[in-house]
Amino acid sequence: MEESTLMDRARENWIGYLFILPTFLMFTLLFYFPIVRGVYMTFTNARLGGAGTFVGLDNYMWLLTNDLFHFAFGWTLAFVFGTTFLQLFIGLFAALLLSELKSGWREWASAIVMSPYFSAPLAGGVIWLWFLNSDFGMLPRLITDIFGVSTPAFLAEDLWPYVSLIVAQSWHDYGYAGIIYAAAIVGIPREQYEAAALAGAGRLRRFRDVTLPHLVTPTIVILALRTAWNVAEFAQPFELTGGGPGTRTMLMSILTYETAYVNLQFARAYTLGMAMIVISMTAAIFYVTVIQDEEEMYV
């Protein structure tokens, strides 16, 4: 066959190109251009309002030598790991309990159990603030009244703020894992449980041999998405501790905000954002690799 040049093919398919042109233009304008510009910005000293001048790798050097960034990076990893897995387990537990309910009851119970996920993160922050605050919070007062002991400051003392942030964030988002797990559990054919019961498998055994294998794929989907979102989680932790006391609970998301809008260092904020992307993408690549192994489970 004759070799066709690029121009030949463009002339042949011009109607097709015409149709994708508007989408391509909008994507370039609203998506690719900002990304490329943002990446370029990390090589400048841009502040709010100005384009800045080219400074090479200065921002990245600042990042790598900054103690607060080191701390925020480590704490973000711990926060993401803690919340993601807590969400996974609580969500699985909720889904399993819901699957035991009769249809009719199940829908209402699901709506109630999943409701934190549908609440605005800021509202969630307010709830936990009213719950944990040492001055007016419900939990410290309850403990003091019932047991007669004073409680630590849940949002300020020792390891408590870390625990509080992870627990509060897990509370807000476990519903996501719950919804996906519930759908997966409903989809498991009932006959497989019945066959296992006839084969002599008890309840725990059926859970291990029938339910769990069907939950591998949903688990990976939840892990991948929740990891990315938990890396970027901002509203609720910001409201509860604001990264404090001092900078003791500084997450990368809060650090990015402060760099951009308190210190007005937009270029550095964007550089921080690049580090967050690296975390999410590394996790995503890891999960995708696992999914490929998982697909081999069925052949």
Partner 1 sequence: MARVKFDDVTKVFEDTSGPIVAVEELSLDIPDGEFVVFVGPSGCGKSTTLRMLAGLESITDGEIRLDDQPINQMSPRDRDIAMVFQSYALYPHKTVRQNMGYGLQLSTDLSDEEVDRRVVEAAEMMGIEDLLDKKPGSLSGGQQQRVATGRAIVREPAVFLFDEPLSNLDAQLRKHMRTELSRIHSELGITTIYVTHDQEEAMTMADRIVILNDGKLQQVGTPKEVYYRPANAFVADFIGSPSMNFFDVDLRTESDGSGTLAGEGISYAVSNDVVEMVGGDGEYTLGIRPENLRIDSTAPDAKTFEAEVDVVEVIGSDNFLYLEVGGKECRVRAPVEIEPAEGETVDVTFDESDLHLFDRNTEEALVHGHERADAEPRTIEQEA
Nearer to partner 1, 1 or 198 (CB): 198
What one-character DSSP code corresponds to residue 48?
A: T
Nearer to partner 1, 54 or 298 (CB): 298
- Sole binder of partner 1 in the list 191, 204, 246, 262 (CB under 8 A): 191
Rounded Cα gap, residues 155 and 130, in angstroms: 11
Binding to partner 1 (CB under 8 A) within 79-98 occurs at none
Stretch near partner 1 under the rule CB under 8 A, chosen from 19-27, 73-81, 159-167, 208-216: 208-216
- Sole binder of partner 1 in the list 126, 201, 221, 284 (CB under 8 A): 201
Q: Does 100 bind partner 1 (CB under 8 A)?
A: no
Q: Does 209 bind partner 1 (CB under 8 A)?
A: yes
CB of 194 to partner 1, least distance (A): 5
What one-character DSSP code corresponds to residue 54?
A: B
The three-state secondary structure class of 148 is coil
Q: Decide if 233 contacts 251 (C-beta within 8 A).
A: yes
Stretch near partner 1 under the rule CB under 8 A, chosen from 62-70, 153-161, 194-202, 220-228: 194-202
- Sole binder of partner 1 in the list 15, 198, 204, 262 (CB under 8 A): 198
- Sole binder of partner 1 in the list 34, 50, 74, 189 (CB under 8 A): 189
CA atoms within 13 A on the CB side of 117: 18
Rounded Cα gap, residues 244 and 221, in angstroms: 33
Backbone angles phi, psi at 233, to 5 degrees: -60, 130
Rounded Cα gap, residues 268 and 58, in angstroms: 9
